[in-house]
Amino acid sequence: MKLKLKKNWLYFTVNILLGLMCWHFLSDLIAGQSPDKMLTRTGEMTLWLLILTIACTPIARTFKIKHYRRYRKAFGIFSFLYVLLHVAAFLTKSRWNLSETAISLFSEWNLILAFLSFLIMIPLGLTSNRFSLRLLKKRWNSLHRSTYLLVILAFGHVLFLTDSYQPDKLAYGVVIALLLILRLPVVSNLFHPTAKAGRSQIKSIKSSNGLSKSGNALLMIIAGSITMVSFINGNAEADTGQPYTYDPNHGVFSTLFMASEMPIVKNGKTRQLCGVQCHWTFQPGLLPQSSWERIMNQLQDHFGETINLSPDEKEEISRYLMQNSADHTASRVAVNILDSLKGTTPGSMDSIPYLKKKHSDIDAGMFQHESVVRFSNCPACHIGVEQSGSYKEKHVSLPEGL
């Protein structure tokens, strides 16, 4: 299977993305908004472009893509442009106070690694041209091999950004580790025994699915890595002992391997006193911690009713709700809820923007139906949600009469 690609689409696509980011960056500056989102977006794009840069050679050799060096060069140049925008966003956040910024660079590990990464990227970006290639000759290859060190440092920067567990960090680490292993001479020769001097003349027997043996081996490694990521993600909290904590500046890929279901209520007193005797058992991840604090401090007027709990019962239920609120729930639903709230404290579920948007195509009168009664009565339509925590559309069934 020989793939012959044109490079124009690549330059066009990445230029559009770069242009959009510049536009949003300038728009945020004019509007006086924080550059935090742009800082996150440009950082993620830089890391992914660096990953694509080191992925070009093993992918090209495996799938016999011609002229892959032009794509590798393009990814490298664009990663340099994105990191310049990333640095501009960082300096804007620090109000261009260069003296304080210089001091802060050596105060935290993530900033130290970021600074070292940027120092390496400067000569790589400036020498990504034919003139430098002719001028440096063999030294050009030696210089650009530092890309592998650059990727490791960039990943270290992301890794030390926060102390909390985030699934996208694990995804980055697995992908980078896999690509670095594939570039080791022993592994590279195993998959590509005839690859020499950057050429991909692979002579291997085709298998029944049309891919070479090396192609199948690569696919098996990728599939195994995805399985490992999913497994580790599912057991991350138990293994690390560190509960998940929501980061308002999380990246766009942070929910990639998160569970789509909301964790069900496991505390006995919460299920009994809140679920059986009062209403359905709300999953704590449906509201932020600040909302649960407000609710538990206003039990004398709990939506028009008085709730009487002993001090021990109140303490146990409060502690469970706080520890399992949306702020500490590694679920896509919980993250989307917090993203939509933007730091505000809703008094109830029907004032959460994300949930209102998800139900925007439903007539408001349906929530007043005798089978539903109120917006927050999720089990009326989401069948088995108390037992499964699933809010997927395939588990939705409208009550009779609706």
Closest by CA to 151, choosing from 52, 63, 77, is: 52
Residue 241: CA count within 13 A, CB half-sphere: 0
Per the prediction, the chain carries an average pLDDT of 76
Q: Find the mean pLDDT for residues 360-382.
A: 83
The C-alpha atoms of residue 330 and residue 33 are separated, in whole angstroms, by 28
For 14-61, how does the pLDDT look when each residue is reduced to its tens digit (9 = 90+)?
666 667 667 766 666 665 556 777 788 888 888 888 998 888 888 777
Q: Strand, helix or coil at 396? A: strand
In degrees rounded to 5, what are phi and psi of residue 305?
-125, 160
Residue 80: CA count within 13 A, CB half-sphere: 17
Q: Strand, helix or coil at 6? A: coil
CA distances from 337 to 166, 167, 253, 352, 356 (A): 17, 18, 16, 7, 10
Residues 6+ apart with CB under 8 A from 198: 57, 69
For 130-158, how does the pLDDT look when each residue is reduced to its tens digit (9 = 90+)?
888 888 888 888 888 888 999 999 988 88
Higher pLDDT, 401 or 140: 140
Residues 6+ apart with CB under 8 A from 258: 167, 233, 330, 331, 332, 335
For residue 326, what pLDDT is reported? 92
For residue 216, what pLDDT is reported? 46
* Sequence-ordered alpha helix ranges (H) in 127-192: 130-136, 138-144, 147-159, 167-182, 185-191
For 204-251, how does the pLDDT look when each residue is reduced to its tens digit (9 = 90+)?
333 333 444 444 444 444 444 444 444 444 444 433 345 678 877 776
Assessment of whether the complete model's pTM goes beyond 0.85: no
Residues 6+ apart with CB under 8 A from 94: 100, 101, 104
Higher pLDDT, 172 or 226: 172
The pLDDT of residue 118 is above 90: yes
Higher pLDDT, 304 or 293: 293
* Weakest mean pLDDT among 64-78, 142-156, 300-314: 64-78
Residues 6+ apart with CB under 8 A from 249: 36, 37, 39, 40
For residue 5, what pLDDT is reported? 46
Q: Find the mean pLDDT for residues 368-389.
A: 86
DSSP bridge partners of 3: 65
